Amino acid sequence: MKLVEVASPLYQVEFTGRASIPTNEDPEVFVNELKNGDHFTFGGIYLMTDEVKLNSIHRVKGAYVVDVSVKGTVRTPPGTSPSVLAKVSPAVFKHHISVQKINTRPVVGPMNANRYNESYQHYVNSNKLTSSEVRDLVRYRQVGDNELSDEIVDKLCNIFSDMGEIPYGVLKARTGDPNSRVDRKIMTMSDFDFASLVKDNSTSDPRTRMGGKRPQAKFKPMGG
């Protein structure tokens, strides 16, 4: 998982945002997800949320429109400011928030930087594949006689989502099946891309769990 390098500057951001939630989903759950998690954009900006406030919920044409206020901390790419958050499309945010208005100010002090870095590392590590999970994933790709656990699929969903490879609608199973999308990605990517995916998103060098060999793919027939 490639995120913004930690050498770039920190900013505190406050913005109002709007999201559209299908009526078969609970908007209160959506807001709680925002409050309880840290969020990452496909554009390479990791947002550590500090405070989320629900401003309003109203129903329009079969959907809930949710307005929120968010306070958090971002580390933007070198040479840019967090104002880029206001220019990205709603789909860029994992929770599909369209930024309405944003205010920013620089964050100073090692304590703030350390807190952000710890949150950043926790986010990255939470989606790392363990040694046993990598073995199961390699076997699934090479042989295809096993099933991937829900934990592996969830991690791969987050990994591919953060890479921009799975749209938010598919991730939430609104416009497609995330499991099928993950399966298709794993089974059709090149050996080099698969080895890079494992190396970048596992707890250790994948070759140490494969007898010193890089994984070689033997494709199984795709169902459906």
Q: In terms of domains, do 85 and 133 share one?
A: no
The C-alpha angle 1, 196, 132, rounded to 5 degrees, equals 85
Q: In terms of domains, do 102 and 63 share one?
A: yes
**4 found inside a domain:** no
Q: In terms of domains, do 60 and 115 share one?
A: yes
Q: Among 94, 124, 154, which residue terminates a domain?
A: 124
**2 found inside a domain:** no
Residue 223 phi/psi, 5-degree rounding, is: -90, 120
Task: Report the number of distinct structural domains present in the chain.
Answer: 2
Q: Among 83, 106, 124, which residue terminates a domain?
A: 124
Q: In terms of domains, do 21 and 87 share one?
A: yes
DSSP β-ladder status, 46-60 and 39-40: antiparallel
Q: In terms of domains, do 133 and 61 share one?
A: no
User: How many other C-beta atoms lie within 10 A of the C-beta of residue 8?
Assistant: 15
Q: In terms of domains, do 60 and 112 share one?
A: yes
State the pLDDT at residue 66: 87
**219 found inside a domain:** no
Q: Among 68, 97, 124, which residue terminates a domain?
A: 124
Q: Which domain holds residue 181?
A: 129-209
State the pLDDT at residue 89: 45
Q: How do the pLDDT tens digits run along the chain, 224 residues long?
A: 444 444 567 888 888 888 888 888 788 877 777 776 555 554 556 778 888 888 999 888 888 888 888 888 887 766 666 666 666 544 445 556 777 777 888 877 776 788 888 888 887 788 899 999 999 999 999 887 788 898 999 889 888 877 777 766 677 777 778 888 889 999 999 999 999 999 988 886 545 444 444 444 333 333 33
Q: How far apart are the first and last CA of the chain?
A: 29
**3 found inside a domain:** no
User: How many other C-beta atoms lie within 10 A of the C-beta of residue 205?
Assistant: 11
The string over 27-66, giving b where at least 16 C-beta atoms fall within 10 Å of a residue's C-beta and e elsewhere, is beebbeebeeebbbbbbbbbbbbeebebeeeeeeeebbeb
185 vs 180: CA distance, rounded Å:
9
Q: In terms of domains, do 199 and 120 share one?
A: no
Q: In terms of domains, do 106 and 134 share one?
A: no
**91 found inside a domain:** yes
Could you please report the per-residue DSSP string of 84-122? GGGTS-GGGBTT-PEEEEEEEEE--SHHHHHHHHHHHHH
State the pLDDT at residue 123: 77
Tokens matching residue 55? 């401003």
The C-alpha angle 34, 39, 121, rounded to 5 degrees, equals 125
Q: What is the CATH number of the domain that holds 19?
A: 3.30.70
